[in-house]
Chain A
């Protein structure tokens, strides 16, 4: 099934960008095309062909970006691939994929709560989700590098 990913690369949706140790292929994409990519994945791999393992959000303070890594496990071989994108740190917005893949619920809510990335179209985003109310009132996103907690 992993060949299907190569098809997406050829069509220009994804761009190969090296590996993350150990042996997880890394692809970059433009954050505006996220829904397109996951629609394609659903279409080509099928509902049972992959699952979204997690989304890792990292605050790249130096580059003024927030990096989002979508970790997708391709079945049945269970190969993990990484889809990486960047959003603007001052205006972090990306389309939600919750309606396509319900498994995105937990990571999207978490990243919104901890890093402040807005997933457009996710009705479940709320604060406080995990973060205590005191911090929410102050508008602090605890995992940002400049947050003091």
Chain B
């Protein structure tokens, strides 16, 4: 009968270790190509704004790159996309639609992070500061 079978399953589960992952003590294992936090590599980005137009969640705004950074010539308007990670739905449309494939993708999923509410800092870290200042990381 089914009854005794499920009983033995339940008893076995009693002595097994929990099936749930004890986050945050234990990290879940995600695939290397999981769609996680992404940001634009400003060495490649040309500031065209296509990602902003295509983003279904309106999570991207185009911002001016601050003056102290050296910007590649192809980005004449000195614009770069800033992703609001709280709005982003991680569809990666921005990644696939970018004409120069500028986005750096990661499988980082722990997004409750007061440091990186937007991609501004991460993106800017791909640029060098102008001569005089040291290279920023």
A and B touch in the complex (CB under 8 A): no
